[in-house]
Amino acid sequence: MTLTERLGEYVRACFTGLWIESHEHEDALREMAQLCAEQNWQLVTWNIDSGLATSGQSHDADHSASDPLAAIRTLRSASGDTATLLVLSNFHRFLNSAEIVQALAEQLVAGKQTRTFVVVLSPVVSIPVELEKLFVVVEHHLPGREQLLDIATGIASEADELPSGSELDTVLDSACGLTRYEAENAFSLSLVRHGRITSEAVWELKSGMLKKSGLLELHRGQDDFAALGGLGSLKAFCRRSLLQPGRGNPLKRPRGVLLLGVPGTGKSAFAKALGRETGRPTLILDVGALMGSLVGQTENNIRQALRIADAMAPCILFVDEIEKGLSGVASSGQTDSGVSARLFSSLLTWLNDHTSDVYFIATSNDISKLPPEFSRSERFDGSCTGARKPVRVDFHAPSWIPPLMPPPGTITCTWGRYAMSRPNVCSTAVKPTLSAPQNLS
């Protein structure tokens, strides 16, 4: 549902307190103005700079209009013949005042009789405990692919400036997670640099976003599978699972792989090359960088990092040597007051429940140090144990595997032991269908 539809339902149901979480205030105000015009409702806006404004005209005669307390009290004079919406921009900055909180609480209760509604427009949800039961939170979603296409079409005035086909899909995928303002900037920068809209400028802007958060690193290397020797079956499996036509269905999306082995077997190089091979960005998550000095900061950091990964989908989320980051989970209650255990719990919940097109790759040198629940069935599409010499590979086809893959059973590759953990396993051995083992040394 759009913001207009949800807001209309809440107003008709007489929810007098609405908290809209949005980074795009102008777009949210435009949608609310359109809704009020259609329903013949009165819209009043307020911010600390411009003061009160009704129907686009500011109250110049009222010098106290920039006072947040006076803005709330203006609703007392509403007639009640029609619904009146007071939109307060960035009002979370003023909710530390006891007078403002008390006036807002009284107005929200009285609004049931006078049909007056208080709408707080803020990029964060920071509701005082006195007002928690009086507000309902509404999220203003980021633009989808159709809206991003409209923005790109509006910026690309010439026919050859807008790509088509798979290249256009790549551009739209790369722009997912951007606000409308950021998408316009990225597309405009691409036109200035390249004369057409490409994904390079978009990823540059997203890389800057990740640097501001400090939680994830964007890897944009030039090496693909051609620069990586061996790993034949693992390459084929990951490439075909990520490039399958039905990946738009959340039920058929691949989850990821767990790579196990001694150092020097190409685990990290494979994870980085996979992004280049499939046209996806590789996000590197450093578990150590998530640790914070304040109470609750670590848990908030992991949730924020996973939200960023979801917003940047489709992408690859890569965690290197994860057993070292999770080594203290078992004794977390005695060593760090349970911080590591709560971080691990958030990661497991996301791995199990996320529906975004994020392919998770984790590497480990010592599986005995990993918590057993991390590698349970359904958590990953498969696990691969590597060595420095050719070994036998056990392959079991999951339900979503494309028909181009070899039949279920056992195959031989040049590196690693690959065992699927999906429930529909098959133990019937078949004739090797890939190249014979080769000595990579």
Q: How many whole angstroms from its chain centre is CA 361?
A: 17
Nearest one of 2, 309, 308 to 143, comparing CA atoms: 2
| Pairwise CA distance, residues 272 & 224, whole Å | 8
- Give 382's DSSP letter: E
Residue whose pair of structure tokens reads 């807008």 in the numeric block = 162
pLDDT digits (tens, 9 = 90+) for 151-170: 999 888 887 888 888 888 88
Give all strands of the β-sheet with 282-285 in edge-to-edge order. 216-219, 282-285, 315-319, 358-364, 256-261, 382-386, 417-420
The two structure tokens encoding residue 374 = 């991390």
- 225-389 and 3-139 share a CATH fold: yes
* Omega cis (within 30) before 163: no
Nearest one of 146, 150, 204, 151 to 174, comparing CA atoms: 204
- Predicted pLDDT at 424: 33
C-alpha pair distances (Å), 92 with each of 17, 97, 137 = 14, 10, 13
- Predicted pLDDT at 389: 45
Written as one string, the DSSP assignment of 104-136 is HHHHHHHHHHHTEEEEEEESS----GGGGGG-E
| Pairwise CA distance, residues 417 & 234, whole Å | 9
Would the pLDDT of 436 be above 50?
no
Q: Quick one: what percent of the chain has pLDDT higher than 90?
A: 23
Element (H, E) at 420: strand 417-420
Is 3-139 CATH 3.40.50.300? yes
| Pairwise CA distance, residues 117 & 13, whole Å | 11
**Could you tell me the pLDDT band of residue 353, with boundaries at 50, 70 and 90?**
confident
How close are the terminal C-alpha atoms of the chain, in Å?
Answer: 57
| Pairwise CA distance, residues 243 & 220, whole Å | 19
Nearest one of 163, 170, 164, 165 to 145, comparing CA atoms: 170
Q: Please provide the average confidence, as pLDDT, over all residues in the chain.
A: 78
pLDDT digits (tens, 9 = 90+) for 210-265: 777 778 888 877 777 877 777 788 888 888 878 776 556 666 778 888 888 788 77
What pTM does this model have? 0.68
Q: Residue-wise over 175-188: b if at least 16 C-beta within 10 A, else e?
A: bbbbebebbebbbe
| Pairwise CA distance, residues 285 & 306, whole Å | 9
Task: Give domain limits for the chain.
Answer: 3-139, 145-213, 225-389
pLDDT digits (tens, 9 = 90+) for 46-75: 999 888 888 655 554 454 567 899 999 988
Contact assessment for residue 226 and residue 218, using Cβ atoms and an 8 Å cutoff: no
Angle 17-22-23 from CA coordinates, rounded to 5°: 150
Topology annotation, domain 225-389: Rossmann fold (3.40.50)
**Could you tell me the pLDDT band of residue 332, with boundaries at 50, 70 and 90?**
low
Angle 264-265-270 from CA coordinates, rounded to 5°: 110
Sign of CA dihedral 366, 368, 370, 372: positive
Angle 163-165-167 from CA coordinates, rounded to 5°: 55
- Predicted pLDDT at 92: 93
Nearest one of 62, 56, 58 to 32, comparing CA atoms: 56
For strands 409-412 and 392-395, give the pairing. antiparallel
- Predicted pLDDT at 163: 87
